[in-house]
Homo-oligomer: A and B are copies of this chain.
Amino acid sequence: MNYRAEINVMPLKALLDPQGKAVAKSLKNLEISQIKDVRIGKHITMHLKAENEQEAKEKVETVCKKLLANPVMEYYEFSIYSE
């Protein structure tokens, strides 16, 4: 079966996010108001083959842990869609 994974890797909520802060500040300079709590992370899409959805989830979980997210600074969340 073919699956598509949509993964978000975001800075931990407890940590400062300098990139997000920079965007929030730029918004003020652009005179766009009433936006706050801007946080910026990574969005990853990938296509994978697996026997079933459970196996696909485990595979993506492994990839996130081993390669995509640094657990000291980031958390991840993902959704799997069959194609």
Contact = CB atoms under 8 A, between A and B. Distances in A.
**Which of A10, A23, A34, A41: most chain B Cβ within 10 A?**
A34
Contacts of A67: 23, 26-27, 30
- Number of identical protomers: 2
A83 to B, nearest CB: 11
A65 B82 CA distance: 31
A38 B47 CA distance: 7
Interface string A3-29: 000001110000000001001001100
A32 B64 CA distance: 12
A23 to B, nearest CB: 6
A62 interface: yes
